[in-house]
């Protein structure tokens, strides 16, 4: 049986923070960072500073798991992307890993797994059972970029039940207060069109990335400047006519 997280303040071994394994592909790296940015942007929109979004980092939830990692045994590392509410934000404190016993026993409220041919079976079975049984994570989302299979689940009576997509093929996330769905477009430094997991406001509009928000603000500023210039030019024309 796992020891309570609160009892693990002191460990007889060093925690490991990296396994040195690269992500499956550039798409996985970009998608992971995209989801983290979107969660943080959505939180900023709502004025919340009590959330943490992480990815490609260890999630330590039990003594046995931490011991196995330190000993070099087969171990669970962590979800591709996860979200936790009601904690100190990532902007106020940097974390090398999510260590449950240092976070009041808190574990992810939402988990995203980005599948690949080598991980799909584990993500749909072993990890899914772990997140339901030990993490008790309320929501679990899976996306396979190769097959474009997109699945959403919510925890009910200790088991994940499939979420029904809406007319746009998106799932409603109670934890995020947003829709989770697929969007095809250009994102990332490569500038290539691809399908991405994105977050949507309840009205269906996209939660913008920081770059998209900055670009929209620039366009609004340009439009306002053009309107001001046009109004000034019109005023000058009318004054000229009155002078005549």
Backbone angles phi, psi at 168, to 5 degrees: -95, 5
pLDDT value, residue 4:
43
Q: How far apart are CA 4 and CA 101, in angstroms?
A: 8
Q: How far apart are CA 26 and CA 37, in angstroms?
A: 17
β-bridge partners, 151: 142
How confident is the model over 124-154, as pLDDT tens digits? 999 999 999 999 999 999 999 999 999 999 9
Cβ(87)–Cβ(106) under 8 Å?
yes
pLDDT value, residue 68:
87
Look up tokens 């998209």; give the residue. 212
pLDDT value, residue 218:
67
Domains, the chain, ordered by start: 5-208 (3.90.1570.20)
Give the H/E segment covering residue 186: strand 178-186
Cβ(183)–Cβ(196) under 8 Å?
yes
Pairing verdict, β 178-186 and 171-173: antiparallel
Q: Whole-model pTM?
A: 0.84
pLDDT value, residue 9:
53
Query: CB 64: neighbour CB atoms within 10 A?
Result: 13
Low-confidence ranges of the chain (pLDDT < 70): 1-10, 19-20, 22, 188-190, 214-223, 226, 228-229, 244
pLDDT value, residue 187:
83
**What is the DSSP-derived secondary structure letter of residue 206?**
B
pLDDT value, residue 81:
97
Backbone angles phi, psi at 14, to 5 degrees: -85, 140
Which spans in 59-169 are helix H? Answer: 63-71, 120-124, 126-130
The tokens for 15 are 């925690």
Strand ranges (E), 88-157: 98-99, 110-114, 139-144, 149-156
pLDDT value, residue 46:
92
Q: How far apart are CA 189 and CA 205, in angstroms?
A: 23
């Amino acid at each position: 049986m796992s020891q309570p997280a609160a009892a693990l303040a002191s460990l007889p071994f060093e925690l490991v923070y990296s396994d040195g394994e690269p992500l499956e592909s550039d798409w996985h790296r970009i998608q992971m960072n995209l989801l983290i940015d979107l969660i943080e942007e959505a939180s900023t929109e709502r004025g919340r500073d009590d959330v943490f979004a992480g990815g490609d980092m260890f999630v330590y939830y039990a003594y046995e798991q931490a011991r196995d990692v330190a000993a070099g045994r087969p171990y669970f590392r962590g979800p591709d992307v996860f979200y936790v509410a009601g904690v100190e934000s990532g902007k106020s404190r940097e974390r090398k890993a999510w260590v449950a016993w240092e976070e009041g026993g808190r574990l992810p409220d939402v988990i995203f797994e980005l599948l690949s041919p080598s991980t799909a079976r584990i993500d749909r079975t072993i990890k899914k059972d772990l997140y339901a049984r030990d993490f008790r994570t309320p929501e679990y989302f899976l996306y396979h970029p190769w097959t474009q299979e997109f699945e959403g689940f919510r925890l009910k009576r200790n088991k994940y039940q499939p979420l029904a997509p809406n007319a746009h093929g998106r799932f409603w996330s109670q934890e995020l207060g947003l829709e989770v769905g697929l969007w095809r477009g250009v994102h990332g430094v490569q500038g290539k069109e691809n399908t991405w997991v994105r977050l949507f406001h309840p009205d269906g509009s996209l939660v913008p990335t920081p770059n998209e928000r900055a670009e929209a603000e620039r366009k609004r500023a340009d439009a306002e400047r053009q309107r001001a210039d046009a109004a000034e030019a019109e005023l000058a024309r009318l004054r000229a006519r009155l002078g005549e």
